[in-house]
Amino acid sequence: MIDPQEVPRFAGVASFMRMPHTHDLDDCDADAAFLGIPFDDATTYRPGARFGPRAVREASTLLKPYNPVTETSLQEYVLVDHGDAPVIPGYIEDTFEEIQARVAYVLAHDVVPAIAGGDHSTTLPVLRAIADEYGPVSLVQFDAHSDLWTEYFGKDHNHGTTVHTAIKEGLIEPETSIRIGDRGGLYSQEDIDLMDDSGVKYYTTEEAISKNLNDIGQRIRERVDEPVFATIDIDVVDPAYAPGTGTPMPGGFTSREILRLTRELHGVNLIGFDLVEVAPPYDNRAGTTSILAANIMFEALCAALDK
């Protein structure tokens, strides 16, 4: 990490936290690698998440390495920026293969993947690589939507079908998985049935708030079995805090709440995570969505490395 006391944080090439950029993980002995997945073809409303990785990198140059709440210092770990997975615009299934291969490469080097999407469809190939390495995992999902649709537009793959397919393919164990943040309108009562039938435990935003977030943290830690993969859809946050996303829904968490929730992942065996659906073309000019996303990734990195 470049010394920000010598070179201002607005200077230089914007890799994640200004970490070294390398496509080759053989020699670097990394503990964790930032990986971008710039794919947004499977969104049902606003595109732009293909620029999520670039925007999160830029925002991350503001991050400092020491977490005073958890007393974690990222300077004790080797972090690299592993670039972006190649993607093929217009071809979702071919793209999935590329993504899965790249994540498998990271895992093969025993490196924690810290992934920035991309729309939420991209979590499926990530989970395929994860399950190849670890078997079925517990999923912690922070999200305004369940992503449990069985199909969309007559097709299997879409940013709304990811978790359904992951369960169907045996990539995650629903009975040790949990989702926080549901809210907003649905198509019909059947959507509730899909959620109930999935086996994934969930708390709506209103339930989570009324229970108190400490308590929710406790419930997450009790629910999951190791290993754990966390998938954070930025739309779990309210559009006031994260306007730059594909399907914004009012009534979400505040920044304090999501940072607190992410911090509650300390204590689980977090083997990787992704943060998806940051759509920079719709962000405000200050880029607050990307800045929040970078800070959430910082908290998740602390949880994944300091255990």
Annotated binding-site residues for Mn(2+) read 120, 143, 145, 147, 233, 235
Q: Given the complex with its own copies, which of 137 and 297 has the nearer CB atom?
A: 297
Should residue 256 be labelled a site residue for its own copies when binding is judged by CB under 8 A?
Answer: yes
The window from 35-43, 104-112, 130-138, 218-226 that contacts its own copies (CB under 8 A) reads: 35-43
The rounded distance, in Å, linking the Cα atoms of 101 and 114 is: 15
The window from 100-108, 166-174, 218-226, 282-290 that contacts its own copies (CB under 8 A) reads: 282-290
Should residue 44 be labelled a site residue for its own copies when binding is judged by CB under 8 A?
Answer: yes
Nearest alpha carbon to residue 33 among 78, 67, 85: 78
- For the segment 51-90, give every residue that binds its own copies (CB under 8 A): 51, 53-54, 57-58, 62-69, 71, 73, 75, 81, 83-90
For tokens 């990307």, name the residue.
Answer: 290
Does residue 262 sit in helix, strand or coil?
Answer: helix
The rounded distance, in Å, linking the Cα atoms of 275 and 25 is: 22
Q: Given the complex with its own copies, which of 1 and 226 has the nearer CB atom?
A: 1
The pair of structure tokens assigned to 62 is 């503001």
The rounded distance, in Å, linking the Cα atoms of 141 and 167 is: 13
The window from 103-111, 171-179, 220-228, 279-287 that contacts its own copies (CB under 8 A) reads: 279-287
The count of chain residues that interact with its own copies, using the rule CB under 8 A, is 99
In the list 28, 241, 269, 306, the residue contacting its own copies (rule: CB under 8 A) is 241
Should residue 191 be labelled a site residue for its own copies when binding is judged by CB under 8 A?
Answer: yes
Q: Given the complex with its own copies, which of 93 and 226 has the nearer CB atom?
A: 93
Q: Given the complex with its own copies, which of 21 and 133 has the nearer CB atom?
A: 21
- For the segment 115-134, give every residue that binds its own copies (CB under 8 A): 121
Least CB distance to its own copies at residue 72 (A): 10
Least CB distance to its own copies at residue 282 (A): 4
Feature table: binding site: 120, 143, 145, 147, 233, 235
Should residue 5 be labelled a site residue for its own copies when binding is judged by CB under 8 A?
Answer: yes
Mention every residue, 6+ apart, whose C-beta is less than 8 A from residue 112. 31, 32, 33, 271, 272, 301, 304, 305
Helix or strand run (H / E) with residue 84: strand 79-84
Does residue 67 sit in helix, strand or coil?
Answer: strand
Helix or strand run (H / E) with residue 142: strand 138-142
Pairing of strands 72-73, 66-67: antiparallel
CA 98 to chain CA centroid, nearest Å: 18
In the list 169, 206, 215, 226, the residue contacting its own copies (rule: CB under 8 A) is 206
The pair of structure tokens assigned to 197 is 């039938």
Judge contact between 198 and 164, C-beta under 8 A.
Answer: yes
Torsion region of 224: left, alpha or beta (phi above 0 gives left; psi -120 to 50 gives alpha): beta
Handedness of CA 126, 148, 261, 287 (dihedral sign): positive
- For the segment 155-184, give every residue that binds its own copies (CB under 8 A): 155, 157-158, 184
Judge contact between 283 and 289, C-beta under 8 A.
Answer: yes
The window from 107-115, 132-140, 221-229, 247-255 that contacts its own copies (CB under 8 A) reads: 247-255
In the list 234, 259, 276, 297, the residue contacting its own copies (rule: CB under 8 A) is 259
The rounded distance, in Å, linking the Cα atoms of 264 and 214 is: 8
Q: Given the complex with its own copies, which of 41 and 136 has the nearer CB atom?
A: 41
The window from 124-132, 134-142, 169-177, 281-289 that contacts its own copies (CB under 8 A) reads: 281-289
Should residue 12 be labelled a site residue for its own copies when binding is judged by CB under 8 A?
Answer: yes
